[in-house]
Structure 1
Amino acid sequence: MNELLSKVKQNLILNHDEDDVLLSGFITAAVSYAESYQKKPEGFYNENPMHPTTEQAVIMLSSHFYESRDGSTGGFFADNVEASKQVWNVVNMLLRLNKDVII
């Protein structure tokens, strides 16, 4: 989880630890979503390595949760009303790529 936290913070360009607990919750939710979407048992990624495309989906989704935690669309695409939909489409596409792959 610490490695994922570090990668999510790099993605968000965060240089502080003040939101680590909040980010960890978002990472847990994103991993849970990935497991559910890929029809893996709960806790699968606690026991098994995560494929790089699945990891990227988790990083993107965690970042999206953080940037839009107030219910709005935040971040780089804040001025695009379709930004949230675009994030979910990319995340789901990345998760589909490795739905049946076990490393």
Structure 2
Amino acid sequence: MATLLEKVKKNLILDHDGDDELISSYITAATSYAESYQKKAAGFYELNSMDPTTEQAIIMLSSHFYESRDGSTGGFFQDNVKASEQVWNVVNMLLRLNRDVVI
């Protein structure tokens, strides 16, 4: 199975290795965000398998970080100021599907 790095690069349509370290740091940040949002312990996904919806959220969020690293919306939607907000809405919706409920 492809690694998250390979999946993010495929999502970004990147075929070079020049930004692998940068993308890996975005994957780490996105995974940390997912664990926090889902109320899971830090490092949870290092020890446990990741549901496909969580994986998709991490791929999307890592790609967003890469395309918006200068603080702009970035990507294909750079002329739409709501695009960044929509990415976060979709990511959070996907992460909610595997969120641990804390009562």
1:82 deviates by 0.1
Residue 50 of structure 2 is matched in structure 1 by 50
Rounded Cα–Cα distance in structure 2 between residues aligned with 1:91 and 1:76: 18
Which amino acid in structure 2 is aligned with residue 87 of structure 1?
A: V
TM-score (norm. length: structure 1): 0.94
How many residues align? The count is 99
Residue 14 of structure 2 is matched in structure 1 by 14
1:77 deviates by 1.2
1:79 deviates by 1.2
Rounded Cα–Cα distance in structure 2 between residues aligned with 1:27 and 1:60: 10
Rounded Cα–Cα distance in structure 2 between residues aligned with 1:3 and 1:85: 27
Rounded Cα–Cα distance in structure 2 between residues aligned with 1:14 and 1:37: 28
1:40 deviates by 0.2
Root mean square deviation of aligned Cα: 0.9
Rounded Cα–Cα distance in structure 1 between residues aligned with 2:56 and 2:77: 18
TM-score (norm. length: structure 2): 0.94
**In the alignment, does 2:34 pair up with 1:34?**
yes
4+ residue segments displaced more than 4 Å: none
Unaligned regions of 5+ residues in structure 2, if any?
none
Matches within 5 A, 1:1-103: 3-100=3-100
Rounded Cα–Cα distance in structure 2 between residues aligned with 1:44 and 1:75: 30
Rounded Cα–Cα distance in structure 2 between residues aligned with 1:41 and 1:94: 18
1:58 deviates by 0.1
Unaligned regions of 5+ residues in structure 1, if any?
none
Q: Secondary structure in 2 aligned to 1:76?
A: helix
